[in-house]
Amino acid sequence: MAGTLAEIIAARVTRLNADDVVGRIWARDTSVWKDDPDPPELGNRLGWLDLPDRMGPVVLEIAGFAAEVRGAFDRVVLCGMGGSSLAPEVLWQTAGRRDGALALHLLDSTHPEAVRDAAERGALDRTLVLVASKSGSTIETASFERYFWERTDGNGRQFVAVTDPDTELARRARGREYRRTFLSPPDVGGRFSALSPFGLLPAALIGMDPADLLVRARSAADACRRPAPDNPGALLGALMAGGALVGRDKLSLLLDERLASFGLWVEQLVAESTGKEGRGVLPVVGEAADELSGAEPDRVVAVRGLGGGARSPLGRAAERLADAGVAVDAAWLDDPHELGGEFFRWEFATAVAGAILAVNPFDQPNVAESKANTGRVLASGAPPIAADPPSAVRAWLGGVRRGDYVAVMAYLPPDVAMDRRLAAIRSAMARRAGVAVTIGYGPRFLHSTGQFHKGGPPRGHFLQIVDVSAGDISIADAPYGFRRLIAAQADGDLEALRARGRPALRVADLDGLERELNG
pLDDT along the chain (519 residues), means of 10: 69 94 96 84 91 96 97 97 91 91 97 96 97 94 97 98 97 98 96 98 98 98 95 96 94 95 96 96 93 88 89 91 91 96 98 97 86 89 92 96 97 96 96 95 93 96 91 94 96 94 97 94
Contacts of 10 (CB under 8 A, 6+ apart): none
Give the 3-state secondary structure of residue 178: coil
Q: Name the nearest CA neighbour of 337 among 219, 164, 481.
A: 219
Q: Buried b / exposed e across 231-264, counting CB within 10 Å, b at 16+?
A: bbbbbbbbbbbbbbeeebbbbbbbbbebbbbbbb
- Report the pLDDT value the prediction gives residue 206, as an integer from 0 to 100: 98
Cβ atoms of 240 and 353 within 8 Å: the answer is yes
- Report the pLDDT value the prediction gives residue 1, as an integer from 0 to 100: 42
Query: How many whole angstroms separate alpha carbon 396 and alpha carbon 497?
Result: 15
Cβ atoms of 406 and 504 within 8 Å: the answer is no
Question: Where on the phi/psi map is residue 154: left (φ > 0), alpha (ψ -120 to 50), or beta?
Answer: left
Q: Name the nearest CA neighbour of 342 among 188, 223, 203.
A: 223
315, containing H or E segment? helix 313-323
Query: How many whole angstroms separate alpha carbon 283 and alpha carbon 438?
Result: 8
- Report the pLDDT value the prediction gives residue 517, as an integer from 0 to 100: 95
DSSP string across 333-382 = ESSGGGHHHHHHHHHHHHHHHHHHHT--TT--HHHHHHHHHHHHHHHH-P
Strand locations in 88-138, DSSP E?
103-107, 127-133
3-state secondary structure 54-82: HCHHHHHHHHHHHHHHECCECEEEEECCH
Query: How many whole angstroms separate alpha carbon 135 and alpha carbon 171?
Result: 12
Domains annotated for the chain, with CATH where assigned, are 3-32+221-357 (3.40.50.10490), 49-208 (3.40.50.10490), 365-518 (3.40.50.10490)
89, containing H or E segment? helix 86-95
Contacts of 444 (CB under 8 A, 6+ apart): 81, 82, 108, 109, 414
Cβ atoms of 208 and 91 within 8 Å: the answer is yes
Q: Name the nearest CA neighbour of 169 among 143, 151, 187, 203.
A: 143
3-state secondary structure 263-306: HHHHHHHHHHHHCECCECCEEEECCCHHHCCCCCCCEEEEEEEE
- Report the pLDDT value the prediction gives residue 4, as an integer from 0 to 100: 62
Q: Name the nearest CA neighbour of 390 among 505, 279, 308.
A: 505
Angle among Cα 447, 453, 459 to the nearest 5 degrees reads: 160
Cβ atoms of 69 and 202 within 8 Å: the answer is no
Cβ atoms of 94 and 262 within 8 Å: the answer is yes
Give the 3-state secondary structure of residue 254: strand
CA 386 to chain centre: 29
Answer positive or negative: Cα dihedral of 359, 193, 255, 109: negative
Query: How many whole angstroms separate alpha carbon 455 and alpha carbon 318?
Result: 31
Task: Say what the pTM is.
Answer: 0.96
- Report the pLDDT value the prediction gives residue 505, as an integer from 0 to 100: 98
Query: How many whole angstroms separate alpha carbon 455 and alpha carbon 364?
Result: 9
Cβ atoms of 411 and 464 within 8 Å: the answer is yes
Query: How many whole angstroms separate alpha carbon 39 and alpha carbon 365?
Result: 12
Query: How many whole angstroms separate alpha carbon 136 and alpha carbon 80?
Result: 10
Number of H helices, E strands in the chain: 20, 13
Contacts of 388 (CB under 8 A, 6+ apart): 505, 506, 507
